[in-house]
Structure 1
């Protein structure tokens, strides 16, 4: 039996033990929370490919067959590969109709293309200009044999996009890489020689902000390579500080890139309760300060991680916020979303025709749905007074020219993106009436 006089001593002795038990309990709970966010075995195994059955699903699978990629759909409940071609077409028509109904009253006050000195307040002239832009992105890739027959973009930015040239030279290549020996020939056949000085002239001191996914970062590289005389420092692909792209004798013009995969209107980064996720990046870009400072917005909303209805609502919410006050006169250009080309190292040149719907349904990572999403985005962007530029129509036909290896989405520079620069140059000239 414990003496009563000694009891307080034993109670004091138990306090450290109680505190230790409490800390241990908190630690166990935290560990349970931490490991509960890891994928289950079932989630991991559904991404395993069957390498025993090889298929030739795509035209550039020339050397050998490859595994079926259908297990690589990241969000299968939003994928429509189980539907027939006719059912997918009907779905697209219905979603376009929904988008039109959703924007019918939302942007009815907007006429023409705000931010353009030629087409603001002129709906019919704007419609004709948009048709011309569509004509520029309709065409085919043609081979050119002369080394001086077409313009190629210099590259002195991110070394990743120059890796193809280095690899080509290391393996004994002479002259230009094969991927640079093609030029985009549009249905209009009206390409204009790219003049960085004239581009700076029409920008006229209007700063540009590029917002979207990692492909949008390549536009950042494109502008820097085209308009600057030397490299600019940029650390990372999330939020690159602004760079000067035009200087004297032209008005000072700056460029900034922010990564926001879904163009969300989030005002703060999502900390995800202390477990930041890299699956979808939403860097804030819609503050009044940013929109005011960068009157030219080049946007893209890419990942297929939601329903079509959510996509419609999200894009409308973003454009409504931009147009609400500060960005009422912003120039909005929207880049269409393209597909990747699995096992792109097999490709030796451009495709002669776009993939059929049956072929698109075999693409992984939600790429089977981007054609419908692009059609929806076009309706919303144009209703909000923006310009939809279908650059994906060009690069969807280029399984060659990619960085390669594990990266069959982004392209080396120079290469297919040279024609992106050419078309964007024409768009900016056209918006200011400087095409002739």
Structure 2
């Protein structure tokens, strides 16, 4: 697959209300691009499956926010939650939700492959590639063995488990180079890190402006700076930088709090993370056009 020659970043835009939908309020908004030359096309499952390919897969590496992104991505490919409450602690690898692994088999009219269409591996800082470990409040599952030939796309992130800038640079650079060496033909994407919101239970809709850094706890004030570091690394190493920071920073609504105490970081699914799936889908469409 050909690589994009420029970073495909998010566009400044507005959240357009859909007042007449009979759904919870958090689903009544979508991200609209301001540029008519670069519209945000709605996700089409059939097209999405063709962009992935039969028997191919997407590997998602990162922390619990990446896990929830994998859940949203699977749901767009018709992975189902069954009867489980959407506000539970989600696990994108929870096989009790559905027996399906090949989520696109019906699109290609073939028997299901054993390959998981979307595979998530928890690695909060990407530094531990071949052995699992717990370090403080961070979790690292081995992921080196997941760099298999059928992996067409790797989406990685590190950021919310804050490291020093030098360590952040070192571990991210090493991870990208390792992926590149094992999967030279795969498309590699770094997803920018999003932040949570103070007192998110107070909000019923989007913000007009992002909360300022001096309002942010838990070291979240470092995220914007470290996103810029990651953006430069991505450009230097030929990796696509997928910018979801601003569109997410404007969404204090639909966090798991008050359903889970103190969680103003993770989101209900479906919800704002569906916009991440839309950005990924449009990015893959652009990449296919350039291939």
TM range (shorter): 0.7 to 0.9
Q: 1:248 aligns with which of 106, 113, 121?
A: 106
1:222 match: secondary structure: helix
Tell me the residue number matched to 1:126.
5
Unaligned residue ranges in structure 2 (runs of 5+)? none
Tell me the residue number matched to 2:44.
195
2:285 is the alignment partner of 1:429: yes
Q: Highest relative contact order (Cα 8 Å, sep 6+), 1 or 2?
A: 2
Tell me the residue number matched to 2:167.
310
Aligned CA distance change for structure 1 residues 144 and 305 (closer, same or farther; 3 Å) = closer
Unaligned residue ranges in structure 1 (runs of 5+)? 1-114, 148-174, 271-275
For 2:124 and 2:74, how far apart are their aligned partners in 1? 21
For 2:216 and 2:288, how far apart are their aligned partners in 1? 39
Q: 1:180 aligns with which of 24, 27, 47?
A: 27
Query: In the TM superposition, what whole-angstrom CA distance separates every residue of 1:139-185 from its partner, at most 9, and x where no partner exists?
Result: 121223232xxxxxxxxxxxxxxxxxxxxxxxxxxx32222222211
Q: 2:137 aligns with which of 249, 264, 279?
A: 279
Q: 2:201 aligns with which of 335, 340, 345?
A: 345
Tell me the residue number matched to 1:209.
59
2:71 match: secondary structure: helix
For 2:79 and 2:173, how far apart are their aligned partners in 1? 38
Cα distance, 1:304 vs structure 2: 4.5
Cα distance, 1:196 vs structure 2: 0.2
Regions of 4+ moved over 3 Å = 229-242
Cα distance, 1:203 vs structure 2: 1.0
2:178 is the alignment partner of 1:321: yes
Aligned CA distance change for structure 1 residues 227 and 202 (closer, same or farther; 3 Å) = same
For 1:306 and 1:193, how far apart are their aligned partners in 2? 36
TM superposition score normalised by structure 2 = 0.84
Q: 1:367 aligns with which of 220, 243, 252?
A: 220
Count of residues paired in the alignment: 271
For 1:236 and 1:352, how far apart are their aligned partners in 2? 29
Q: 1:264 aligns with which of 127, 138, 141?
A: 127
1:321 match: secondary structure: helix
Aligned CA distance change for structure 1 residues 331 and 346 (closer, same or farther; 3 Å) = same
The structure whose residues are more often helix, as a share, is 1
Confirm or deny: 8 A CA contact 2:147 2:183 kept in the other structure.
no
TM superposition score normalised by structure 1 = 0.57
2:177 match: secondary structure: helix
